[in-house]
Chains A and B, each alone.
Chain A
Amino acid sequence: MKNKEKRLMRGSEAIGEAAVRAGCACYFGYPITPQNELTEYMARRMMDTGRVFLQSESEIAAINMALGAASTGARVMTSSSSPGISLKQEGISFIAAMELPCVIVNIVRGGPGLGNIAPAQSDYFQATRGGGHGDYRTIVLAPASVQELYDLTRKSFELADEYRTPVLVLADGMLGQMMEPVVFNDKEILPEQLPDKPWTVKGAKDRPSRFIRSLLLDVDVEEEQNWRLYRKYQRIERREIRHEEYYMKGAELAIVAYGTAARIAKAAVKRCVEKNMRVGLIRPISLWPFPYEHIYKTAETVKHFMSFEMSTGQMVEDVQLGVKGRAEVLMYGRPGGVVPTPAELFRVISRAYNKIAREK
């Protein structure tokens, strides 16, 4: 029967709506395909709700506006696509150093360079290794459906506030452009309902001054700040790993895939299982922190892994770090904006699986 709560939404709209309902007070954007629908949506919704929508003069300006607004305690978001996210890296490094909460959306497109506007997963290294200069990490969440775009964007605001750190939502043009039903399982929060943050800088009347800065010339102070960040990242690694499993019980070959690739992998794995092949799927939902420990444990019994990515192979290095030599790690990838079909992946998996079976 008709469910009134279900709405057919475009991926980029789901991100925008999640931000609005999370109490995002400021959005700073700059146009780039394939994420323009998000900026368009925010233009409408932020104005309707009397909040700040600002189309800046460049990506660099947008991320620095986000930095400034975040330092007042407001929930803030900026978005772009690969080349634009590269431009934002300096700002992201500063935001990490200043320990400011900020949500950054990357609707990844084919690269390097300007590349194309097709769906890709080639920004994995940049996203999970910090991206900018300095000793820092960003939390990276990788949704695989429009519902998850909604849920994980909402979650990103919470994580950003909790850990005072930038959070990256990593999607691609396919997820951003496609429409799927979305259910809002959460309660809307207005910006003014959010609790006050004790570290903000928005005027020091009747209290001592506070400082939020990234320039720490004294090496001892900078070292201590680095260790402080390190301890925070360790805390995040202990508490914020997210992943999902599919047909992993009794599997002999584990496919590891995230986002759009994981959707395709799911269909291919299902077909394998129907043909009595013992193949399963591990889908990391948080790319940083990565589920190393889970993969290590899995590698106790599963001796073959295959990383499947829409790149020439980036996450595969994390899979290798996870298995720590306990299992063979294969790689299958299609870079440049190609979205492989489930049938293509099924053929690749079958070949690998038969080879494993022969060698046994």
Chain B
Amino acid sequence: MLVKTIFAGFGGQGVLLMGVCVATAAMNEDKFVTYMPSYGAEVRGGTANCTVSISTDEISSPIASSPNYVVAMNNPSLLRFQHIIKPGGYIVTNSSLVNVELGRSGVTQIQVPGSDIAEELGAMRSANMVMLGAYAAVSNVVSFQSLIDAVGEVTGKKKKELVEFNIKAIKAGHDNAKEQIKKLESIEA
């Protein structure tokens, strides 16, 4: 099993943190894992992305030329990564901000209004956590519980109440995505 995911958005949306949380969860499940951030001559407010590879075997390249999952937090992310997703793969989009149409077939799109859900909960900046929950529901690559634990481990160093809020956000995203998957499955059935 080798699962590659790209988390993408603009700088400040916390996409790198999403990757670190998933990677930490996978490590704690004793899986092989690599996390690779995009780095380069980026501009403030520009794009940011990271690739997380999770496997039961040693991982060769931490780069993903054809990821199984893409989590797109904004329009440029969808446009940039939609065509490299492996056929049969998934793209999870933050539909609060992503309004361009998916320009390809052969992949499943799950649309979760991450920013709106986060705002309803009380902190728009937690949209990344909502989307992380949605990703967990779609991919099942790490267990929901180890993801929650990992978020606590990664973000809990400073503020305990932030961890609780994050967990609430993850659950909300998870539930929203689960709902949609159920609907999709009933259509297919």
Contacts and interface: CB of A to CB of B under 8 A. Distances in A.
A341 B65 contact: yes
B20 interface: yes
Given A6-B27, A8-B20, A174 B62 contact: yes
Contacts of B24: 8
A264 interface: yes
B61 interface: yes
Interface stretch (A44-52, A120-128, A176-184, A294-302): A176-184
9 contacts: A8-B24, A174-B36, A174-B62, A178-B36, A179-B35, A180-B34, A181-B27, A263-B60, A342-B60
Contacts of A204: none
B39 A267 contact: no
Nearest to B58: A266
Contacts, number: 56
A1 interface: yes
Interface of B: 20, 23-24, 27-28, 30, 33-37, 39-41, 58-63, 65
A67 to B, nearest CB: 31
Given A178-B34, A179-B23, A181-B33, 8 more contacts: A8-B33, A117-B40, A178-B35, A179-B34, A264-B60, A268-B60, A339-B61, A341-B65
Nearest to B41: A117
Nearest to A269: B60
A342 B63 CA distance: 10
B63 A174 contact: yes
Interface residues of A, number: 24
Given A6-B27, A179-B20, A339 B35 contact: no
Contacts of A117: 39-41
B62 A173 contact: no
A264 B61 contact: yes
A3 interface: yes
A180 B61 contact: no
Interface in A9-35: 33-34
A179 B24 CA distance: 10
A341 B53 CA distance: 14
A173 B39 contact: yes
Nearest to B40: A117
A177 B58 contact: no
Nearest to B64: A341
Contact of A341 (B20, B34, B35, B61): B61
A33 B38 CA distance: 13
Nearest to B19: A179
Name which of A1, A177, A264, A266 has the most chain B CB atoms within 10 A of its CB: A177
